[in-house]
């Protein structure tokens, strides 16, 4: 059976919830076209960003609570918030058990360089393990579990430290990889509301938090709300802002800027050096998808004219050290008490479903 592929991007039938119109354009490209003018009008986006970060009173202890990983994106956002926008920033990092030494060294160095307060957030280890095990077993992606944890901590942390807004440095490509009008992606409410000046935060977060019950069992969902979202539920929600929704995003430009203006430098690799199990997680996701898991992100790059279709297809040729990848995945499974053989079996079965 020949896989249908979008006439513009590299998305094909293996992408979850993909649809094609009569011309062969996928629903993700169609939705992007609807938003393209808004997403490229950086003057208006900057005005909106300024309104969202402008202090409306003096009752907050910080302007922004910013999650940082030691990577290029969050480091760049921190620089801009402190140096360009002159904001009082409290930084924090979720120590999820897989944070690398290189990441910690970069975090410790950069927060000292920028003279900002920082905290490593360490959640209950048993809770972390249960979340990783349930979500990864269900969705076959440790990264989804990690993102879920990260969002919960980010949403809660701004309320905990009394910051006016929470912010993150998720890339434009990551934000829009599953963005379509007819797809119910967990990040979608942040994009839709991020483009509005006035947002009903209670309504937005209620919609998002309801998805917890779909990801894990009721007992764990209750524990997550009680332990990870307690401050937000008690003190009220804060707006959760994606910096790169309002500002241009180009990987090489960001790296060049940081290396010219800060002590941050590329060491082992440009991306994902902060995660000790990244190769293992990627191996599992690629096995499940039977192609590069990054296909939807490359498709966003094509829509933004940052890649050609030919370049994207070249990048999708997955070259992994299988021995290293399996070793990392086994390490993850041992730590979270997840069945390694079951994960691989489910991934192989899932990969055949679209045929």
**Through-space distance between the first and last CA atoms of the chain, rounded to whole angstroms:** 7
pLDDT of 75 strictly over 60 = yes
pLDDT of 355 strictly over 80 = no
pLDDT at 1: 58
Q: What percent of the chain has pLDDT over 90?
A: 79
Element (DSSP H or E) covering residue 218: helix 218-228
Range in 31-35, 104-108, 216-220, 286-290 the model is least confident about? 286-290
pLDDT of 81 strictly over 50 = yes
* Residues 164-177 pLDDT 10s: 999 999 999 999 99
Task: Compute the Cα dihedral for 296, 255, 97, 331 and give only its sign.
Answer: positive
In angstroms, rounded to a whole number, what is the distance separating the alpha carbons of residues 186 and 208? 7
pTM here is: 0.94
In angstroms, rounded to a whole number, what is the distance separating the alpha carbons of residues 329 and 350? 18
Cβ atoms of 315 and 298 closer than 8 Å: yes
Comparing 113 with 151, the larger pLDDT belongs to: 113
CB atoms within 10 A of CB 51: 11
Q: What is the mean pLDDT of residues 225-246?
A: 95
* Residues 85-138 pLDDT 10s: 999 999 999 999 899 999 999 999 999 999 999 999 988 899 999 999 999 999
pLDDT of 265 strictly over 80 = yes
pLDDT of 158 strictly over 80 = yes
Mean pLDDT of the chain, nearest integer: 92
pLDDT of 290 strictly over 90 = no
pLDDT of 308 strictly over 80 = yes
Helices 142-160 + 218-228 axis angle, to 10: 40
| Confidence band, pLDDT 50/70/90 cuts, at residue 9 | very high
Enumerate the domain spans of the chain. Answer: 1-40+278-355, 57-246
pLDDT of 354 strictly over 60 = no
pLDDT at 56: 67
Structural fold of domain 57-246: Rossmann fold (3.40.50)
């Amino acid at each position: 059976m020949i896989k249908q592929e979008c006439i513009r991007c590299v998305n094909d039938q293996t992408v979850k919830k993909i649809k094609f119109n009569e011309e062969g354009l996928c629903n993700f490209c169609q939705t992007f076209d609807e938003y393209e003018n808004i997403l490229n009008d950086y003057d208006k986006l900057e005005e909106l960003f300024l309104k969202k970060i402008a202090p409306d009173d003096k009752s907050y202890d910080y302007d922004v609570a910013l999650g940082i990983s030691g990577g290029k994106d969050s480091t760049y956002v921190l620089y801009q918030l402190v140096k360009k926008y002159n904001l009082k920033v409290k930084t924090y990092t979720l120590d999820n058990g897989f944070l690398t030494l290189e990441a910690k060294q970069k975090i410790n160095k950069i927060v000292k360089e920028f003279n900002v307060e920082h905290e490593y957030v360490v959640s209950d280890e048993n809770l972390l393990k249960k979340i990783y095990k349930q979500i990864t077993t269900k969705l076959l992606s440790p990264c989804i579990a990690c993102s879920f944890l990260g969002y919960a901590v980010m949403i809660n942390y701004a309320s905990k430290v009394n910051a006016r807004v929470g912010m993150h440095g998720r890339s434009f490509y990551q934000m829009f990889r599953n963005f379509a009008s007819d797809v119910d992606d967990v990040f979608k409410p942040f994009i839709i509301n991020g483009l509005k000046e006035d947002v009903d935060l209670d309504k937005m977060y209620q919609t998002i938090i309801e998805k917890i019950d779909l990801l894990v069992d009721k007992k764990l969902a209750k524990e997550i709300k009680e332990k990870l979202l307690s401050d937000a539920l008690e003190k009220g929600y804060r707006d959760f802002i994606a910096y790169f929704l309002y500002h241009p995003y180009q990987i090489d430009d960001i790296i060049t800027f940081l290396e010219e203006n800060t002590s941050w430098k590329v060491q082992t690799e440009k991306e994902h050096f902060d995660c000790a199990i990244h190769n293992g997680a990627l191996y599992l996701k690629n096995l499940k998808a039977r192609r590069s898991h990054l296909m939807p992100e490359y498709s966003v790059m094509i829509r933004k004219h940052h890649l050609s279709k030919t370049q994207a297809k070249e990048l999708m040729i997955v070259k992994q050290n299988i021995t290293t990848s399996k070793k990392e995945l086994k390490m993850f499974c041992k730590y979270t008490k997840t069945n390694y053989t079951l994960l691989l079996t489910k991934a192989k079965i899932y990969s055949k479903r679209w045929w």
